Amino acid sequence: MFSYPLSIHLPVSFCKLKSGLDPERNENQFLLVWLWSKVQDPPEEEFSSADLTWKKFGTAEHHDDVALIPYARVDEFIIGECSNVECPTRFHIERGRKRSKGSLKEYKSDEYLEYRLYWCSFGPENYGEGGGVLPSRKYRLNTRNRAARPQSMRGCTCHFVVKRLYARPSLALIIYNERRHINKSGFVCHGPLDKDAIGPGAKKIPYISNEIQQQTMSMIYLGIPEENVLEKHIEYIQRYCGSDATVSTLASQYVRKLGMIIKRSTHELDLDDQASIRMWVERNKKSIFFYQDTSETDPFILGIQTEWQLQQMVRFGHRSLLAADSTFGIKRLKYPLCTLLVFDSRHHALPVAWIITRSIAKADVAKWTKALVDRTRSIEPGWKTNGFVIDDAAMEIDPIRDTFCCPILFALWRVRRSWLRNLVKKCSNIEVQREIFKRLGEVAYGIWGGVNISVALEELIQDFVDQTAFMDYFKSSWVPKIEMWLSTMRTLPLASQEASGAIEAYHVKLKTKLFDDSHLGALQRVDWLVHKLTTELHSAYWLDRYADESDSFQNVKEEYIASTSWHRALQIPDSAVTLDDKGHLFAKVASLKDSSITHLVWNPGSDFAFCDCAWSMQGNICKHVIKVNMICETDEGYKPSMSFQSFREILMDLWKKPMDDSIALDESVAWTRQMLDQTKQLVELNSSNDIGIVVNNMPLKWVSKKGRTFVGIPASLPALPSSSKSITKNLQKNRKRKRLSRLR
């Protein structure tokens, strides 16, 4: 009788993981017969379990996945499995057996000639947990690889068996016992979300993952009381270890110690700021993507990006947008700060890199942008952004365009904000403020013709000549450079109000964190700025994202969701808005909290709409303006937003291009068609609640297209068929390189 012999070959200690397997089941026999006809030989150079079709095998409680491949391709499968983006790892041979050909007189159809049990190198032992160490293995696939070092034993249970079949030595049967990289408690125990056990004490302390360390640190940095931090910390640890008095004691010691370290940590590593920064750089190499110290020939440049930020840049920046909040603190800080942002899953701006430098010279921008892109591609070879949003007309765009190879967009938030803030500060009469803002808006909208800019400016200055304070500011700060700003706005596509609002929200948060009155003396120190960014600000964003993704810390989560005007505007019902139908001069928005309060939005529909609420009076794009503009968008009587107008101009430009009836025309038609399809899909994806409907309506049937064209990158956009091919090729090249370094 045939019986499935898998459990016999497993070490005894593994049997508990596999309880429930019933070796006598008859259907197993049929399964193998079925498998014979299904030898899989994927076309990819290296492939992984995601490229194979698996047959389930076992009982309801526990089953294995099995697949049959050519024996010659086993190595390529293992390499593919190691490159799992969610849990990059190595697999070592935990146990192996061999028999010689002809040694068996009788054998079952799945009898082995060679048997190898491969185990994820983050297991099977768990040094964090103590006890339960399995007999040490005899040999490894690669003793030099880092993942196999005992420090990183996390009790990972991911493992599979490869059997070279006695009956058919050219074939290998892969039996996957546990495909997930989880520990005994069922939690993912390594990979981007769960990276390192920390510190020299990590072996003694119940396994502290990167995630829990970051969580606890974030809470301490954000000033949450120690007892609450401890409570959350223990809650988290117990998920791994169960509850026990020692665990609690150790945890409370750990939290207190961490709190103490944080309290005592100082930005001032040396009295001299420059020396202090050098020391910080020396100690934080992993968080730096570019550093150039001040010298006679070179200016100071420090590019900071933590590993978490790198992951976010890979995740949200790929086939999506990057944006810069440039020249922050140009007057108050020693060196201005430029932040690179991505738009996260809620379209909020998330800082993924900080660059501290005074230099905007082409050569310097080229240096740090290149270093950043190289770093990103070193972990994600096909990484590419679709657009880069700038907010400063003086920014050097050539190096950005050259390095990121993508279109540059322009966001209006900075110019809008400085005009509005200065108006409110320098004019006392709200009606005058509204009117001047509207006129400034007309100058901006004038970039598409119909308005003579210099005449319009002259008239504006004449009409409000009595507003000396504002006009003096405007004449000195804007008139000399307004031509440059307007021409940038005319040449570059304009970013949406949602993007502008999100970048502004980041800018405001940065300002509140950095410019609170307690640190005025430190503003001129770079080490202080670096310390602030990498501790408090980083922690705040980390916790926001964590709270949202793990659905914990409800207060943090709610506050984070509501952190942009766009999201707050979505909460206002249409019924709260009344439009002035005759003159289109204003709109009214009733307050939801207090029905006796109504906000007046002047110049509705325009990016230069003016609201009288407190948030708007501080220069911000407020939820009322955004809500009113959302309603006006569908009403033809109102001006479209500048970004929409700019989009329309681009399409009209394309349309007006003279063409002959040549192949060039065919190519243009094909490209335009492709672009329109993609835009349509993107809009549908964004507005649809049911992704299934969108996918079903797509011309491509994804079901039949098995394989991972973009390894592990969450595809926020449907991939271009043409570009995906070249990316796959690049990936293959890179894999080849990786493979060499991995196997030798």
CB of 174 to Zn ion, least distance (A): 17
CB of 600 to Zn ion, least distance (A): 9
Binding segment (CB under 5 A) for Zn ion, from list 129-137, 243-251, 309-317, 618-626: 618-626
CB of 190 to Zn ion, least distance (A): 6
Q: Which of 448, 221, 471, 466 is nearest to 457 (CA)?
A: 471
Does 624 bind Zn ion (CB under 5 A)? Our answer is: yes
Structure tokens at 699: 């011309």
Binding segment (CB under 5 A) for Zn ion, from list 88-96, 162-170, 434-442, 720-728: 88-96
Binding segment (CB under 5 A) for Zn ion, from list 54-62, 87-95, 342-350, 563-571: 87-95
CB of 473 to Zn ion, least distance (A): 23
Site string for Zn ion, 204-233 (x = CB under 5 A): ------------------------------
- In this structure, is the dihedral angle defined by the CA atoms of residues 489, 355, 384 and 716, taken in order, positive or negative? negative
Binding segment (CB under 5 A) for Zn ion, from list 192-200, 614-622, 628-636, 682-690: 614-622
Does 177 bind Zn ion (CB under 5 A)? Our answer is: no
CB of 610 to Zn ion, least distance (A): 9
Which C-beta is closer to Zn ion: that of 318 or that of 599? 599
CB of 17 to Zn ion, least distance (A): 14
Q: Which of 47, 122, 176, 541 binds Zn ion (CB under 5 A)?
A: 122
Binding segment (CB under 5 A) for Zn ion, from list 73-81, 149-157, 300-308, 315-323: 149-157
Per-position DSSP letters for 82-145, written without gaps between them: HT-SSS---EEEEEEEE--TT--SS--TT-EEEEEEEEETT-S-BTTT-S-PPPPPS--S-TT-
Which C-beta is closer to Zn ion: that of 598 or that of 645? 598
Task: Walk across the sheet containing 91-98 and list its strands.
Answer: 55-58, 63-70, 171-178, 159-165, 112-120, 91-98
Binding segment (CB under 5 A) for Zn ion, from list 23-31, 59-67, 308-316, 624-632: 624-632
Does 176 bind Zn ion (CB under 5 A)? Our answer is: no
Q: Which of 69, 147, 156, 505 binds Zn ion (CB under 5 A)?
A: 156
Structure tokens at 726: 């070249």
Does 254 bind Zn ion (CB under 5 A)? Our answer is: no
Q: Is the omega angle on the peptide bond into residue 640 within 30 degrees of 0, that is, cis?
A: no
Which C-beta is closer to Zn ion: that of 57 or that of 122? 122
Site for Zn ion in 524-583 (CB under 5 A): none
Binding segment (CB under 5 A) for Zn ion, from list 367-375, 406-414, 569-577, 615-623: 615-623
For residue 188, what is the DSSP state?
A: B
Does 610 bind Zn ion (CB under 5 A)? Our answer is: no
CB of 322 to Zn ion, least distance (A): 29
The set of residues, in sequence order, having a beta carbon less than 8 Å from that of 410 and lying 6+ positions away, is 389, 390, 391, 393, 488, 489, 492, 493, 494, 495
User: Long-range pairs for 369-375 at CB < 8 Å and ≥24 separation?
Assistant: 369/399, 369/400, 369/403, 369/404, 370/403, 371/289, 371/290, 371/303, 372/289, 372/290, 372/303, 372/305, 372/340, 373/403, 373/404, 375/289, 375/305, 375/310
Does 613 bind Zn ion (CB under 5 A)? Our answer is: yes
Site for Zn ion in 587-606 (CB under 5 A): 599
Alpha carbon of 592 to those of 426, 569, 577, 618: distances in Å? 31, 11, 11, 21
CA angle in degrees (0–180, nearest 5) for 416-417-419? 65
**Whole-angstrom distance, CA of residue 629 vs CA of residue 622:** 11
Which C-beta is closer to Zn ion: that of 185 or that of 265? 185
Does 616 bind Zn ion (CB under 5 A)? Our answer is: yes
Site for Zn ion in 465-484 (CB under 5 A): none
CB of 94 to Zn ion, least distance (A): 12
Binding segment (CB under 5 A) for Zn ion, from list 47-55, 151-159, 518-526, 534-542: 151-159
Which C-beta is closer to Zn ion: that of 181 or that of 567? 181
CB of 575 to Zn ion, least distance (A): 17
Find the length of the chain. 744
Site for Zn ion in 178-197 (CB under 5 A): 181
Contact of 208 with 255, CB cutoff 8 Å? no
Structure tokens at 206: 């119940």
CB of 513 to Zn ion, least distance (A): 24
Which C-beta is closer to Zn ion: that of 443 or that of 622? 622
Q: Which of 32, 35, 69, 120 binds Zn ion (CB under 5 A)?
A: 120
Q: Determine how many CB atoms are found less than 10 A away from the CB of residue 702.
A: 10
Per-position DSSP letters for 625-665, written without gaps between them: HHHHHHHHHT-TTSPPPHHHHHHHHHHHHHHH----SSHHH
Which C-beta is closer to Zn ion: that of 507 or that of 545? 507
CA angle in degrees (0–180, nearest 5) for 335-336-341? 135
> What is the total count of residues that contact Zn ion (CB under 5 A)?
12
Contact of 514 with 329, CB cutoff 8 Å? yes
Binding segment (CB under 5 A) for Zn ion, from list 122-130, 248-256, 578-586, 658-666: 122-130
Structure tokens at 361: 């010279």
CB of 599 to Zn ion, least distance (A): 5
Which C-beta is closer to Zn ion: that of 66 or that of 611? 611
**Whole-angstrom distance, CA of residue 508 vs CA of residue 34:** 63
Strand partners, 321: 387
For residue 206, what is the DSSP state?
A: S
Q: How far is CA 156 from the centre of its chain?
A: 26
Does 347 bind Zn ion (CB under 5 A)? Our answer is: no
Q: Which of 68, 217, 356, 622 binds Zn ion (CB under 5 A)?
A: 622
**Whole-angstrom distance, CA of residue 140 vs CA of residue 743:** 11
For residue 333, what is the DSSP state?
A: S
Q: Which of 378, 374, 329 is nearest to 355 (CA)?
A: 329
Which C-beta is closer to Zn ion: that of 4 or that of 602? 602
Q: Give residues in contact with Zn ion (CB under 5 A).
A: 89, 120, 122, 156, 158, 181, 599, 611, 613, 616, 622, 624
